[in-house]
Amino acid sequence: MTVSLCVVGSGPAGLYVADALARRHAGARIDVLERLPTPYGLVRAGVAPDHPGTKAVTRQFDRTLARPGVRFLGNVTVGRDIALAEVRAAYDAVILAAGAPEDRRLGIPGEDLAGVYGSGAFVGWVNGHPDHAALAPRLPGPAVAIIGAGNVALDIARVLARTPEEMARGDLCAHAARIIHAAPLTDLWVIGRRGPLDAAFTPAELSELGSLARARPVVESTALHEPTPTEAMPRKTLEILRGFAARPDAEDAPVRIRILFNAAPLAIEGAAGAVTALRLARTRAEDGRAVSTGETLTLPVGTVVSAIGYRPRPLDGAPLDEARSRIANTDGVIADGLFVVGWARRGPTGVIPANRADALAVADRVSGWLADHPKGTRPGPDALDALLRQRGVRVVSRADWERINQAEIACGDMTGQPRQKITAIAEMLSLLDDTATEA
C-alpha cells in the first residue's frame, strides 16, 4: 500500500523532513502544505535581505519539491481552510513544521505605543512577508533601540545602517527601502540584558558590523575587561568585540551601532501615543541571572524593536508548551501519528542548518512509527483535494509558484536586484489567474 504523509509548513525544517522521508519511503505520496502561496518560510521571509548567499539553500529545497510523489500545496491554512483533525484522518502520518511566527512580548509598560515592533514583524516587513508588508514602521530618528543580543538584532541594525548602494545587491523590498533610506538615523542601540558572555552573536554576523560603509560599531570597553572565552562565547567573538571597543574612529561615524550589555528594559516612555525613550536597568550576573544593580539609564529613541524570541501559533489538536515557546512534544512526537519538527518542536533557536539535523531525527521517529503501524489505509491526498475543492480554496501548485517566482525576478531585473517580491496574496493569486487566462 502507498504511504501518505503530510508536512504542514514549507520552511527549512518542513522541506528537510520531506526530503528525508522521500528518501526513506520510495513511492510515498508526500504533501507539503503552506499557508502562503510561496515556499521556503524563514529563508524567504526571515533571512536578512543583505545576505543573498544564505538564501541559496532554496536550490536544494527546489529539488525536494521536484521529487516524484512530493507536492507543494500553497495558500492552504491548517486551522482555517482545513482542520488538523481532517488532515490527520487523511494521511498515515502528519508532521507539523510551521515554525514559531509570533513575536514574544516584552511585558513592560509602554510596549503598545506607536513605534514599538517585534523583530518578526519588522524583519517580515523588510522581506515583504504578506502578514507584515503594510507595517510601515515609524523611524523618526535619530536613535533606534533593538532589544536582544542575538543575530536577529544584528541583522536589524545592519539593514538600518547600510547605504542604498550596499543594499542594492540584496532583495530589500522597495516599500522598506523608501522608509529606511529616508530615515535620519545616527544611533542604533543593540541591547543585551546580560553580559557579553551570554550574547548569542555568531562571529561571522558580528564581524560584518566592522565593514559597513558609513556605520561603525561602538562597544563599552568596561564591559569586556573581565570575561574570558567560554563555549558559549567563543574566543573569536570576544576578540571582535574588543576590537570594536578599541576603534578610535567610531564616535565620528555618521551612524553608530552601539552594543550595550548588562541593561534590561524597564519601560518604554512616550508622548502623544508614540515612543520617545527607553528606560533600562543596569544589571549584573548573579547565579546565571541578570539582577538589577539599582542604577537606571534612559535612552532617547523614537523606535523600539524587540528581538527576544518567538512562539508558535496555537492550533487545535497541537497544544503549546508556553514555558518553552514550542508545541508540546516528546522528542518530536505529539500524539499517535502526529509529529513536529524545527522551531515548533524545539523552540526558536538555531540557524538554518540546525533544522536539517532536527529533521533527520524526526524523520527517523516517523519511519519507526510507520514500521509498527498499518500504513496505506488512509485516503491520502485525494481526500485533501476533495475537501479543498469543496471549500473553494485556491491551491497554489509548484508550477504556480514558479510563475510568481519568475515575475518577481523580472521585477528585480528592472532595479538591478535579485528580485522584487510580490507582497500581497491577492496580487499573487491575480497574477496566476491572469497568466492562466492568457494561456
Q: Which residues are annotated as a binding site for FAD?
A: 13, 34, 42, 78, 343, 350-352
- In the numeric block, the cell 508558535 is attached to 312
Three cell numbers, residue 332: 518530536
First to last CA, the chain: 38
| Closest to 20 (Cα-Cα) out of 438, 355, 377, 374 | 355
Q: Which residues are annotated as a binding site for NADP(+)?
A: 193-194, 205, 350
Q: Which residues line the annotated binding site?
A: 13, 34, 42, 78, 193-194, 205, 343, 350-352
| Residue 104: alpha-carbon gap to chain centroid | 13
Q: Of 217, 316, 317, whose CA–CA distance to 261 is shortest? A: 217
Cβ atoms of residues 265 and 108 within 8 Å: yes
d(CA 434, CA 325): 41
- CA 177 to mean position of chain CA atoms: 19
SS (H, E, C) the chain: CCCEEEEECCCHHHHHHHHHHHHHCCCCEEEEEECCCCCCCHHHHCCCCCCHHHHHHHHHHHHHHCCCCEEEEECCCECCCECHHHHHHHCCEEEECCCCCEECCCCCCCCCCECEEEHHHHHHHHCCCCCCCCCCCCCCCCEEEEECCCHHHHHHHHHHHCCHHHHCCCCCCHHHHHHHHHCCCCEEEEECCCCHHHCCCCHHHHHHHHHCCCEEEEECHHHHCCCCCCCCCCHHHHHHHHHHHCCCCHHHCCEEEEEECCEEEEEEEEECCEEEEEEEEEEEEECCEEEEEEEEEEEECCEEEECCCEECCCECCECEEHHHCEECCECCEEECCEEECCHHHHCCCCCHHHHHHHHHHHHHHHHHHHHCCCCCCCCCHHHHHHHHHHCCCCCECHHHHHHHHHHHHHHHHHHCCCCCCCCCHHHHHHHHHHHHHHC
Q: Is the dihedral of CA 344, 347, 352, 353 positive or negative?
A: negative
